[in-house]
Amino acid sequence: MADLNQEQWQEQLSKDTNALIIDVRTLEEVEEGFIKNAKHIDIYLPQEFMEQLEALDKSKNYYVYCRSGGRSAQACAIMSQLGFENTYNLLGGFCEWKGEVETL
The secondary structure of residue 64, as a DSSP letter, is: E
**The listed CATH number (2.40.128.520, 3.40.250.10, 3.30.420.40, 3.30.420.310) that belongs to domain 2-102:** 3.40.250.10
| Cα dihedral 61, 83, 2, 47 sign | positive
**This prediction's pTM:** 0.96
Pairing label, strands 34-35, 101-102? antiparallel
Provide the residue ranges of all domains of the chain, joining segments of one domain with +: 2-102
Q: CA of 89: how far to CAs of 28, 79, 104, in Å?
A: 21, 11, 23
Burial (CB < 10 A; 0-12, 13-18, 19+), residue 92, is middle
Query: What digits encode the pLDDT tens for the residues 38-96?
Result: 999 999 999 999 999 999 999 999 999 999 999 999 999 999 999 999 999 999 999 99
Active site residues: 66
> What are the phi and psi torsion angles at 20 (to 5°)?
-140, 130
